[in-house]
Structure 1
Amino acid sequence: MIIREIVMARVNQEYREGARERIIIAAINVAIEKGWEAMTLEAIAQKVGVSIPALYSYFRNRDALENEVVNRVIQIHLDEFIAALSRDGDIHRIIQNYADLIFIHQARHVNIYSLLPIRFLNDPMMHGKVADSMTAELDLISNCLTRAKSRGELKKYLDVEESAQLISSLTAGIMLKLIFDSQINERIERKRWIMGVERILLISRDPDRADVQ
């Protein structure tokens, strides 16, 4: 009897965790497809296929769900960032991977990222989470550059920490532009970002890149 109760409790916990995950993913998809304001409990419930009251058994209110959505998007971004900078390849290939991450991931989550400035300015806890994410990204860039330098792909006198800071600042600027400038030409901005990183790292243009002309 005790074993059966333990098994049932585990099954119930796994079901709740699975249901909670489906709700978060559904909320993210609603925000991506229709914008943040469209991410109502009604829209999320419809996406998941449950009633609105059922959502309250997993999240106490819409704000709690919003926080989970923002936290998840930050984590997804960080996971993809780790993957992009951990792939094998020379420094030019890594820069291309990084650019893909910025311009593909950012475009996909622009409706959610547009909320972040408001959230982390008014919410100290969210401010800390975003700051921690930026610090983690900076460390990843530094580690990536250190590995490239050890392979002889970067000049010996290049200051890795300073270069990582400059690349981080350049990336933050382009992300803000992607969020707030609806007329942005992503192809041109991607090219400029890559050129900027190459100049920071004191390396020549990638001869295999299609936009070198």
Structure 2
Amino acid sequence: MVSRKSREVRINEITEAAIDVFLEKGYESTTMEAIAQKAGVSKGGLYHYFKSKDMILIHANDKISEKVAKLMETALECSSVREGILYYIEKYISYWMENPRETAFLFLSMAKILENPDLLKYYKQYTADYITFFEGAFTMGIQLGEFKLHNVKASAVTLMAALDGVLGYMLFDEDLILEEVIQHFEEKFIKSIEKSE
């Protein structure tokens, strides 16, 4: 008797196959049939799990976002807000640099969302959650006396933009060293707002 794979396992297999096909063929040239073939399921079976390739794209991004969310959770458990933010900065950049496939998929996804209002809604929510995380961290730092009173929204938005922006530069410029980049982030986003002893 052949054992059936669980729904979760099957969805993960489809998602991983879809990422490969999207990266190989590009979003526009990817078909549901190509994804089904790569995942080893029938086209009808694929439609049982996902109604469109947009849905697969969103689900794949959700899976990657879960890894980033875990970094946020761990950052909140650090001994100080300062250490938590630095932990997040280092692990966030390291994650994308150590996972070039996911990084390439992130850039592919970003290009696609600009054309699709439904996908854009998804990313707007993701961005809002991301900003809220940093705003909360900076606010906590102020409340605990680690940071000076400052515009936490501005700190959150600029830190988020800098983190996402530096990824592209690090991919193309081998002279950018992770440890030095983290020091630059610490100088600009932590030391500049720290309360002096």
Answer yes or no: is 1:191 the counterpart of 2:178. Answer: no
Moved more, 55-64 or 143-152: 55-64
Cα–Cα, structure 1 residues 88 and 67, in superposed 2: closer, same or farther, change >3 Å? closer
Instruction: Name the counterpart of 1:69.
Output: 60
**1:60, distance to aligned residue in structure 2 (A):** 4.2
User: Could you tell me which amino acid in structure 2 is paired with residue 23 of structure 1?
Assistant: I
Cα RMSD of the aligned pairs, angstroms, is 3.3
Aligned length: 183
User: Could you tell me which amino acid in structure 1 is paired with residue 65 of structure 2?
Assistant: I
Is the 8 Å Cα contact of residues 24 and 69 (structure 1) preserved in structure 2?
Answer: yes
User: Could you tell me which amino acid in structure 1 is paired with residue 58 of structure 2?
Assistant: N
Instruction: Work out the CA distance in 2 between the residues paired with 1:45 and 1:64.
Output: 17
**1:57, distance to aligned residue in structure 2 (A):** 3.7
Answer yes or no: is 1:171 the counterpart of 2:163. Answer: yes
Is the 8 Å Cα contact of residues 59 and 65 (structure 1) preserved in structure 2?
Answer: yes
**Quick check: which has more Rg, 1 or 2?**
1
**1:83, distance to aligned residue in structure 2 (A):** 1.3
Instruction: Work out the CA distance in 1 between the residues paired with 2:115 and 2:175.
Output: 28
TM-score (norm 2): 0.72
Is the 8 Å Cα contact of residues 166 and 200 (structure 1) preserved in structure 2?
Answer: no
Instruction: Work out the CA distance in 2 between the residues paired with 1:164 and 1:59.
Output: 35
Residues 131-150 of structure 1: matches in 2 within 5 Å?
131-150=124-143
Instruction: Name the counterpart of 1:100.
Output: 90
Q: List alignment gaps of at least 5 residues for structure 2.
A: none
User: Could you tell me which amino acid in structure 2 is paired with residue 190 of structure 1?
Assistant: I
Instruction: Name the counterpart of 2:80.
Output: 90
Is the 8 Å Cα contact of residues 163 and 201 (structure 1) preserved in structure 2?
Answer: no
Instruction: Name the counterpart of 1:113.
Output: 106
Per the alignment, in what secondary structure is the counterpart of residue 114 of structure 1? helix
Instruction: Work out the CA distance in 1 between the residues paired with 2:189 and 2:147.
Output: 12
User: Could you tell me which amino acid in structure 1 is paired with residue 157 of structure 2?
Assistant: Q
Cα–Cα, structure 1 residues 183 and 123, in superposed 2: closer, same or farther, change >3 Å? farther
Per the alignment, in what secondary structure is the counterpart of residue 201 of structure 1? coil
